[in-house]
Amino acid sequence: MSGLPVEKNGEYEADIVGIGHEGEGVGRVSGYTLFIPGALPGERVLVKAVKLKKQYGYGKLLRIIQASPDRISAPCPIYSQCGGCQLQHLSYEGQLRFKRQLVIDNLERIGKLKVAGGTSAASSGKSDEAAGAAFQDASHAAASPSTAATKGIVVHPTLGMEEPWRYRNKAQVPIGFEAASADREGGLVGGFYAQGSHRIIDMDECLIQQENNDRVVAEVKRIARELGIRAYNEETHKGLLRHVVARYGFNTGEIMVVLITNGESLPHVDELVGLLRQAIPGIKSICQNVNKERTNVIFGDKTKVLWGDDVIYDTIGAIRFAISARSFYQVNPVQTEVLYGKALDFAGLRGEETVIDAYCGIGTISLFLAQRARQVYGVEIVGEAIDDARRNARLNGIRNVQFEVGAAEVVIPEWRRQGIAPDVIVVDPPRKGCDAALLATILEMRPTRVVYVSCNPSTLARDLQVLEEGGYSTVEVQPVDMFPHTVHVESVALLVRNGTDR
């Protein structure tokens, strides 16, 4: 491409100034941005330019000339192939700094908000929302937000884990065929997709999965091979076994196995159940979910119990949860307690408040809030989740909570017409952020506090800007590392209505 300071397939030395939204290094060559997988901020590397666009390009890391002090050897043997983790080559302390800076960058660049002591890292060259954020060496020396001299939003250091491995309580593993070779037929494999593809990397161990989930996946693959159960082929839409889902209760030790099949008939089902029960101590539930569609969506609409119970149980703090095959339940229960504990702190409840929990899911945050509020109202558009929420409320004997199915922006105004006036509104939206109508409803209802739980810093920043323009001030944001060794970060933000006591 003419006019660029680099040429395709040319080799260049690049200074790495940040991390992009997929964990790749953000490099500069004569002012031009190259995204370089495997490179880290502070490094100087030799890179081959492999794909060029007008504003930015992509490079292949050839050699590290000067390494970052945060660089470590990734412990996972398939890390370079698997797309599940992006940051295993970055020290855990470096990951926590990056995630805080990711939040700061989005607040400043997308939300146009002032952060106390925050300095937005250099723009990566992509659009704000697509690029993620870079963090620079300056973040190493960032002052504690609590001592920030200038006014603005306090962004606290990221709350990490003492042991950032083996934290996931749910595995969703695609099953497929290993490519055949000249001397053997392709066999059943299960693992994770290679980066940027649907090619399955066969594996029996994942270092961020709880060990029992690894065992479940390995045993299902072994037993399926023994019984001749055919793997699903997404290209031909033939074969039976599509996915294995394993769920584990961290605090109960209970295990659920869900077999996702391309059809209702499961051959050798009694033998399969018997072998699974024999191989996996602690198993409480074996289910089959039927998904006959040509789709990347894992679950179908029909689930049946092959053996045991339809749920397993786990606890977060003092709250007990029933978890079904398709229930949404946070995959890192240790950090979920940290995240929800912070949301509860930000809500500032004293026992007399009315609270609305939008996007309440199966009631996890609602039930935490109900321990300190007078009354909690939860709304969720997924009816199955509301059924779970009501069951979980009964399970814990919590009566000061009411759940309703529907869109938050429809149900909450109806509650307002009924005279319900919330002191606090809590939102925990999906990655796309809050619906614009819901934000408008929040501004109309004028709660004293809004607590925003976010899994996406860019949509968090966008929505905070709307709420700030509507009469609220963002006081503080707490990043929480729910997904160590990945680029994802959760945050809890506290907003207070202007003119009220903070």
Q: How far apart are CA 492 and CA 344, in angstroms?
A: 10
Q: Is residue 485 a contact partner of residue 85, using CB atoms and an 8 Å limit? A: yes
Q: Is residue 21 a contact partner of residue 487, using CB atoms and an 8 Å limit? A: yes
475: which residues sit within 8 A by CB, 6+ positions away?
153, 154, 494, 495, 496, 502
Q: How far apart are CA 393 and CA 362, in angstroms?
A: 9
Nearest by Cα to 368 from 464, 432, 453? 453
Taking the alpha carbons of 149, 150, 151, 156 in that order, is the dihedral positive or negative? Answer: negative
Nearest by Cα to 482 from 428, 439, 424, 432? 428
Burial of 163 (0-12, 13-18, 19+ CB in 10 A): exposed
What are the helix and strand counts (H, E) for the chain?
Answer: 10, 22
Burial of 399 (0-12, 13-18, 19+ CB in 10 A): exposed
Active site residue 455: yes
What tokens were used for 113?
């908000």
Burial of 10 (0-12, 13-18, 19+ CB in 10 A): middle
Q: Catalytic residue among 82, 85, 287, 455, which?
A: 455
Q: How far apart are CA 33 and CA 54, in angstroms?
A: 10
State whether residue 451 is helix, strand or coil: strand
Nearest by Cα to 111 from 148, 157, 153? 153
- How many of the other CB atoms lie within 10 Å of CB of 443? 17
Catalytic residue numbers, as ranges: 455
